Amino acid sequence: MEGPQERFVQGPQQSGTLYQRVGGIEYFKELVDRFYAKVEADPVLRPLYPEDLEPGKNHLTMFLVQLWGGPPYYAMERGRPLLRMRHLPFAIGQAERDAWFSHMSACVLESDVDRADATMLIDYFEKASQFMINKE
């Protein structure tokens, strides 16, 4: 039985990697699918992306899997992330960044993860997307 001195000593359960907690690769596939559906319908973002969205979708999924503790599929296929450099061909200003981040954070909030994990994901996307800005 749990005595009074054992209460409140533990925060929300956060065991393993975020990748494991959200349910592995399927979670990221679905997140990226839903995100890309929003990109496709967005007049600010759509022109930045190539006609065929499938390769980029796959790269983003593999990158997120690797980042959150899953297998290093991105490294195997693409090598070092060098994300800022890889984004230089696309003109990303505050408006593009805000559109990207608002779609991604909406997708995380709509997804089935607990609050602590949703917060971690959104905090990461907020900072990383700001870092990707490459035009005034």
The footprint of ligand HEM (CB under 6 A) covers 45, 48-50, 55-56, 59-60, 63, 78, 83, 86-87, 90, 92, 96-97, 100, 125, 128-129, 132
Neighbours of 39 (CB within 10 A): 20
Q: How far is the CB of 103 from ligand HEM (least distance, A)?
A: 10
Helix or strand holding residue 58 (H, E):
helix 54-67
Is 47:40 a contact under the CB 8 Å cutoff? no
Task: Return the number of the residue (6 or 54) whose C-beta is nearest ligand HEM.
Answer: 54
Q: How far is the CB of 3 from ligand HEM (least distance, A)?
A: 45
Spatial CA neighbour of 134 closest among 101, 80, 82, 87: 87
Half-sphere CA count of 100, side-chain side, radius 13 A: 22
Task: Return the number of the residue (2 or 54) whose C-beta is nearest ligand HEM.
Answer: 54
Q: How many residues does the chain have?
A: 136
Q: How far is the CB of 10 from ligand HEM (least distance, A)?
A: 31
Neighbours of 90 (CB within 10 A): 15
Angle, helix 115-131 to helix 94-110, in steps of 10 degrees:
170
Task: Return the number of the residue (45 or 113) whose C-beta is nearest ligand HEM.
Answer: 45
Q: How far is the CB of 15 from ligand HEM (least distance, A)?
A: 24
Task: Return the number of the residue (19 or 125) whose C-beta is nearest ligand HEM.
Answer: 125
Task: Return the number of the residue (15 or 34) whose C-beta is nearest ligand HEM.
Answer: 34
